[in-house]
Amino acid sequence: MATKHILRLLAVVLTVAVLMSITTASAQPPQRQRMSVDDRVKMLSDSLALTKVQADTIRMIYVQADSDRAKLFEKSGGDRSAMREAMQTLMAGVDKKIEALLTDEQKPKYDKIKSQRRGMGGPPPGGRRQEN
């Protein structure tokens, strides 16, 4: 009799623990992930009606930028301020290279995409984390 009581109590405790872990996991804000090179090229291709030559060239620009970004990350040594400045410079260069490939009809559409991209930046939901 006491064993059944202990088993029921154990089952209730485990159920509560599982439900709490599910609730905690779902309360975490989703992390933004960088789009793959192919996804970024497809998005631009769909939005700007890129030619194959434009799409292929932009793919190469993005591959190089990703490589440069990884090098910057390694060199930054955790200095977020230096990394932010270097990333802004890198992205400005990427934008300039892409704009050079675009037609006069595509450029205003790309400007709109850039302004939307800037709107996605900023602190994560709930404000910035305090660093110790």
- Contacts by 83-87, CB closer than 8 A, 24 or more apart: none
Name the pTM for this structure: 0.64
- Dist. CA 18–CA 39, nearest whole Å: 36
Per-residue confidence (pLDDT) for residue 118, from 0 to 100? 74
Per-residue confidence (pLDDT) for residue 65, from 0 to 100? 94
* pLDDT tens-digit profile, the chain (132 residues): 677 777 776 677 667 666 666 655 555 555 557 789 999 999 999 999 999 999 999 999 999 999 999 888 888 777 888 888 888 999 999 999 999 999 999 999 999 999 888 776 544 444 444 444
101 contacts 58 by C-beta, under 8 angstroms? yes
Per-residue confidence (pLDDT) for residue 55, from 0 to 100? 96
H helix intervals, the chain: 2-27, 37-48, 52-76, 80-101, 106-119
- Dist. CA 55–CA 45, nearest whole Å: 7
Domain extents for the chain? Answer: 37-118
Positive/negative CA dihedral, 39, 43, 49, 50: negative
- Dist. CA 25–CA 93, nearest whole Å: 39
Per-residue confidence (pLDDT) for residue 79, from 0 to 100? 81
Q: How far apart are the first and last CA of the chain?
A: 53
